[in-house]
Amino acid sequence: MEVYSGAIVSKDYSFAFDSIWGTQNTGWGNGGGTMSVGAREKAAPYQLEFTWYSLVEKKFYTGKWALDKERIEHLFDQGFIDQDTHKKDTYSVFKVGLAPKGRVVLWLSGPGNQKEVGAFSAQSVIIKPEDAYSNAQYMFKDGYAERMLNDPAYKTFTPAIREKIRAQGYPAAEVYDTYREKYVWKPVVVLPDGGHWMDFGMHTFNGEQESLFGDSLLNNQYEKRAIPKFTAFYWQDAAANRYGVWIDAYDEQEMFEIFQKLGQETNIDLIMKVNSDNTRLSLALKSADQQLPITKATIRLSRKIE
């Protein structure tokens, strides 16, 4: 996606987007180009405007949307406890996600926490080269999209992503709608006797992030959440040795198939079971009626953390 123009607007402030942001391709929900707007407190934004060029589709999209200002204000006021400082903190970054066929998502982000605060649809628009502002003229050069997508010198994609696209093609546009589907689930860690679960962090396919520790871990409840894409947790054994595990990548197809089998109307446990000598992890999704193993995740386990 190539940024053309836009703005995020509040009562007393407006931050503009333009072509200085260039090509953005960091992954759904991840940070890309970042711009500081200073430390002065500002009113919560009430409007988002965005126009961009989709390199894959060779189309411009544009839109202007009202934001849920009350919900954004509530999240700012509510904040969260920072896991590193153990002090109350709040969100400080807005992230804009652009997907095929004019899909737009806005996230509010802070350390270890990220919430979706808006999902919108843009309309395709024709922008003629003679009408474009001077700094955006490069987008209209012959072959520009093909060079950005296919020439490794531009580093638009990592080698791994480039190979995946070569083998499988680009993801279907509809997958970004599927990512937003939510199920009622919670994490469950099963440890050997004497073990103590210390924390849990997750990224979900819809771009949200959540951290559980302290009271939030003790009060771990079933909640409507998107399907997990990455999870990690630490624990101590009976001798107070510390361990950690990172499920770096759940297999997307496997996870969506299992969640869909269990359904959106039931409580689901994401069970992460550590074996008796703290060296292996098994994974499963469990409802009241059935338990299905997760077999294709990429797992890293650290035996001891000093």
Gap between the Cα atoms of 76 and 89, Å rounded: 9
Do 262 and 287 contact (CB within 8 A), yes or no?
A: yes
- CB burial string 177-211: b at 16+ within 10 A, e below: ebbbeebbbebbbebeeebebbbbbbbbbbbbbbb
Do 1 and 23 contact (CB within 8 A), yes or no?
A: yes
Lowest mean pLDDT among 16-20, 96-100, 296-300: 16-20
Looking at the predicted structure, is the pLDDT value of residue 22 above 70? no
Sequence-distant (≥ 6) Cβ neighbours of residue 12 within 8 angstroms: 42, 43
Question: pLDDT tens digits for 31-45?
Answer: 766 666 666 788 899
Q: Which band of pLDDT confidence, cut at 50, 70 and 90, is reported for residue 285? A: very high
Considering only CA atoms, which of 298, 283, 267 is closest in space to residue 190?
Answer: 283
pLDDT of residue 32: 66
Across the range 260-284, mean pLDDT stands at 97
Q: Is the dihedral of CA 36, 42, 43, 49 positive or negative?
A: negative
Q: Which band of pLDDT confidence, cut at 50, 70 and 90, is reported for residue 23? A: low
pLDDT of residue 158: 78
Question: pLDDT tens digits for 104-133?
Answer: 999 999 999 999 999 999 999 999 999 999
Looking at the predicted structure, is the pLDDT value of residue 196 above 80? yes
Gap between the Cα atoms of 257 and 142, Å rounded: 42
pLDDT of residue 1: 85
Do 263 and 206 contact (CB within 8 A), yes or no?
A: no
Chain-centre distance for alpha carbon 22: 21
Q: Is the dihedral of CA 281, 286, 291, 296 positive or negative?
A: negative
Looking at the predicted structure, is the pLDDT value of residue 79 above 80? yes
Q: What is the pTM of this model?
A: 0.91
Residue 211 bridge partners (DSSP): 201
Question: In this prediction, what percent of the chain has a pLDDT beyond 90?
Answer: 76
Identify the three-state secondary structure at position 92. coil
Question: pLDDT tens digits for 218-252?
Answer: 999 999 999 999 999 999 999 999 999 999 999 99
Do 304 and 242 contact (CB within 8 A), yes or no?
A: yes
